[in-house]
Chain A
Amino acid sequence: MKTHLRRTITFAICVLALCANVVSAAKVEKFFDRAGNLIVQEKVEKYKRRADEGETYPVPPPPFSEDIFPCSECHAEMEPNPERRELVDMHDDIILDHAEGQRWCLDCHNLNDRDTLRLVSGEVIPFTESYRLCGQCHGDKFRDWKVGIHGKRTGYWNGEKQYLLCAHCHNPHSPRFKPLKPMPPPVRPENLNRQGALEETGHQ
């Protein structure tokens, strides 16, 4: 899933750019990311910091799991339970491998409105600003991320740039980077003149 999302990042950027145009022009209330997930725009707008207040960074839509957002679709009907516990009926696919001894779901997810996140200060933020949440602990990474050193910015080196959210590359519940299969090694010089040398190394 993660790798799939990662691969479509570039595509998603383009889509977002398009979406943004659509939104500003037509003032649609709801819109969807490429995977068909609803993005709750009013909440983004409600909690988003103003640009003149300081730090906001253009990002593509957060990489939600399929068919899970908006969370309020289910949670709005449910009584919030602030008690720390192991989830069994739902979300049991999520295994927290991220300082799990110190915290649980509702340290980051907003108890009263699951479509948003909350900071330690109690401030409520949209998923599109999740970097502020991560930055609470990973200050050095956050600092580097803001200047485009940690993670990456896409777009144009001398024009508009877009940031990727931490969650685009790191699973927030298990952030350690997953190993990848390397692309095939180059053809050895000894074999360069042979027909079919490429197939042997497994080049697709």
Chain B
Amino acid sequence: MCNKTKCDKSAFQKSRRKVLKGIAAGVGALALPASNASASVWEAFFQKHFRELDKTELQQVLARLESEYSKEFGKTVNVKATPPIEGVKYGYGLDLSRCIGCRRCVYACVEENNQSRDPQIHWIKVLQLDKEKGVYLDHAEHYYNPAEVPEQGKFYMPIQCQQCENPPCTKVCPVQATWPENDGIVVVDYNWCIGCRYCMAACPYGARHFNWAKSKLPKDEMNPETHYLGNRPRPTGVVEKCTFCVQRTREQPGRYPACEEVCPVGARKFGNLNDPKSEIRYLIENKRVFIFKEDLNTQPKFYYFYAT
């Protein structure tokens, strides 16, 4: 390993790569004769952290994933790694005076983001609350299922990742497998996460979800337009979360997140916080807005508001 403490970063990385290669060669030599594991298994095993991949390495990783997924799902799957757009900071608004709790967003999210159907993973939770009690979660109903919504005297509060400016979840990760990107989206490197679930304990919004078993994702329902940090299929034993549909929103022009697009009452708003003419800026400046669990100083970029 690197004995000199004064060695600079590139030298340090080089030595680290050497170590990794050495280990890879060693373990590979030991294990390969015993099993006919393909080389990509080892490539995946020794893959570096996303942020340490250089351009060619990243291309190799994306190509490997694309071929793996294409084979698994029987169609051409694209895995992009589109970087954040310069000068953009995403914000999300949710109009509590409009939401009717129909859960269209929940399932649009599942379909767009290739969540496991069984065991079921939902990135969005919709709580039914009493108008009389307000945002007092002790009386929240997670499993409401009446014939029709909205119900008398109730209001609905969808909760998903709040994309905190000061995220408690990324701070606690022991291996830096999750971090906030420059556009404010908190992402996970599913190939680096060790599955310790400390981030889940740290998240005040229940926004992080664990792959308790191998995800079941029907081939015909699989969305083949994916992002490395977003909706690509997830391995077992790692944590995943909402990314504001990074595979859509980082494009030029960028589509709205799936949950925004599907909302039948237009309760969901999305845009660039740095753009004074965006919807999100308008609502922050002109509407009654509240931040969920503001006292925890997580500084969410998810704004609940009342249009009326």
Contact = CB atoms under 8 A, between A and B. Distances in A.
Classify A-B as touching or not with yes or no (CB < 8 A). yes
A159 B143 CA distance: 37
Interface stretch (B52-60, B71-79, B145-153): B145-153
Given A157-B254, A192-B119, A198-B120, A179 B148 contact: yes
Interface stretch (A59-67, A102-110, A180-188): A180-188
A137 to B, nearest CB: 15
Interface residues of A, number: 36
A149 B269 contact: yes
Interface string A130-164: 00000000001000100111111111111110001
Nearest to A179: B148
A10 B255 CA distance: 13
Nearest to B283: A149
B145 A184 contact: yes
A197 B104 contact: no
Say whether chain B's binding surface is mostly helix, strand, loop, or mixed.
loop
Interface residues of B, number: 52
Contacts of A155: 253, 256
Contacts of A6: 264
B279 A148 contact: yes
24 contacts: A10-B261, A147-B282, A149-B269, A149-B279, A149-B307, A150-B266, A152-B260, A152-B266, A154-B261, A157-B255, A160-B253, A180-B264, A181-B147, A182-B102, A186-B106, A186-B120, A186-B142, A186-B143, A187-B119, A188-B143, A192-B119, A192-B120, A193-B212, A197-B120
Interface of A: 6, 10, 140, 144, 147-160, 164, 169, 177, 179-188, 192-193, 197-198, 201
Contacts of A198: 117-118, 120
Contacts of A159: 252-254
Contact of B253 (A153, A156, A169, A193): A156
B76 to A, nearest CB: 22
A157 B260 CA distance: 10
